[in-house]
Amino acid sequence: MRNIIYWILSAFLTLAIAIVSLRYVTNFWLLSFVYSFQIHLGVLFVAVSLVILAVRRHVYGFILLLASVFLIAHGVVMLREFSEDDRVADAAPIFRLMSFNVAIDNWKNSTAITDMVLASNADVVNLLEAKPLTFHLQQLFKVYPYHIGCDHGKDSCDTLLLSKRPFVTRQVASIGSLRKDRLVISSVDFGGQTVNLVSAHLSKPYFDDYQMGELEDLGKALRSISGPMVLAGDFNSSAIAPSIQGFLREQKLKTIAPEPATWPSGAGALGIAIDHIFARAPLRPTSLKRFEDSLGSNHSGLIAEFALDGGDQSSAAR
């Protein structure tokens, strides 16, 4: 009986490891979201491997254990690939940015979310699925007099970009073919330094291959941008998903690792980071934190500060 249990468990674990390992062969869209959980699944596989070895000590059980450990280790290595170094850790930030997916049906928490935005002391706020804040816009505009989005009532209130300083440039565009107006490109002058700000909201990776098309369009848009740049938003995938990895390498984007887990918000630190704030040199993130209270959203909000290479900016823009 123990032998039967051993081989049944081994067969199921072998299949599961093989599915996750397909990332090394193909970036099949249907499995893209699974790839985002590689580290989590690796931990689960290790636990199952230990159960298998407890049932029967056999060389194949040790092979499964090693394969599971490899998935974890490589997942950690992949996350570190896009980690910013410590060159500007002590530099004074020139601005602070908040990014948060409000959740399209989160009406009952709209007042609390508005209060959180105002208390964040962020210079720029990137809000996605912002429709629940429709009736609080005038309150937000008193502190953030410059905005992009939500100009024509709640039906146009998806991405909302707020700024304490005027926009030098501004553009709203679409990426992919599934949804409209989920890309906002702008720039703001912070004490004589113009910084490009990009907000993006990608589709879920298991919605056919729409996300791949969105990443392609987003890459084209970013290639036309020169100078310091921040990219923030909801990617619906972690940084270790193959499609996101390729995008980050091509665009030379960095963040602070480990990124705070943002989804599902109820899982806290045990979740995964699918909401991101990236930067491209000479701009570098000096801090990246998660808001502990998600205020009814299934995403956690993020706040980051940025400094320039060379440390020629001596104080934060406030």
Number of structural domains, the chain? Answer: 2
Per-residue confidence (pLDDT) for residue 101, from 0 to 100: 98
Strands of the chain, DSSP E: 95-101, 124-128, 146-148, 160-163, 167-173, 183-190, 193-201, 229-234, 253-254, 275-280, 283-290, 302-308
Among residues 266, 167, 184, 275, the alpha carbon closest in space to that of 221 is found at: 184
pLDDT tens digits, one per residue of 108-165? 999 999 999 999 999 999 999 999 999 999 999 999 999 999 987 666 789 999 999 9
pLDDT at 64 over 50: yes
Claim to verify: residue 68 and residue 109 sit in the same structural domain: no
User: Are the C-beta atoms of 144 and 163 separated by less than 8 Å?
Assistant: yes
Claim to verify: residue 57 and residue 103 sit in the same structural domain: no
Per-residue confidence (pLDDT) for residue 86, from 0 to 100: 59
Claim to verify: residue 30 and residue 109 sit in the same structural domain: no
Domain of residue 209 covers 95-308
Q: Which residue has the higher pLDDT, 153 or 15?
A: 15
Please count the other Cβ atoms lying within 10 Å of the Cβ belonging to residue 73.
Answer: 12
Per-residue confidence (pLDDT) for residue 88, from 0 to 100: 53
Residue 89 lies in a domain: no
The two beta strands, 193-201 and 229-234, are: parallel
Per-residue confidence (pLDDT) for residue 318, from 0 to 100: 42
Q: Which residue has the higher pLDDT, 26 or 45?
A: 45
How far is the C-alpha of 49 from the C-alpha of 65, rounded, in Å? 5
Per-residue confidence (pLDDT) for residue 317, from 0 to 100: 43
pLDDT at 1 over 90: no
The alpha-helical segments, DSSP class H, found in 105-225 are 110-119, 137-143, 210-223
CATH at 115:
3.60.10.10
Average pLDDT over residues 70-78: 96
Claim to verify: residue 162 and residue 207 sit in the same structural domain: yes
Average pLDDT over residues 40-60: 96
Q: If you average pLDDT over every residue of the chain, what do you get?
A: 93
Per-residue confidence (pLDDT) for residue 116, from 0 to 100: 98
Residue 122 lies in a domain: yes
**Domain end residue (candidates: 31, 52, 81):** 81
Claim to verify: residue 161 and residue 138 sit in the same structural domain: yes
Q: What are phi and psi of 63, to 5 degrees?
A: -65, -45
User: Are the C-beta atoms of 136 and 114 separated by less than 8 Å?
Assistant: yes
- 90 pLDDT band (50/70/90 cuts)? low
Cα of 7 vs its chain's centroid, Å: 39
User: Are the C-beta atoms of 272 and 238 separated by less than 8 Å?
Assistant: yes
Claim to verify: residue 129 and residue 203 sit in the same structural domain: yes
Average pLDDT over residues 11-18: 97
pLDDT tens digits, one per residue of 156-210? 789 999 999 999 999 999 999 888 999 999 999 998 999 999 999 999 998 888 9
| CB-count exposure of residue 54 (10 Å: 0-12, 13-18, 19+) | exposed
Claim to verify: residue 152 and residue 266 sit in the same structural domain: yes
Q: Which residue has the higher pLDDT, 228 or 28?
A: 228
Claim to verify: residue 150 and residue 215 sit in the same structural domain: yes
pLDDT at 89 over 60: no
Per-residue confidence (pLDDT) for residue 316, from 0 to 100: 41
Buried b (16+ CB within 10 A) or exposed e, 203-213: bebbbebbbbe
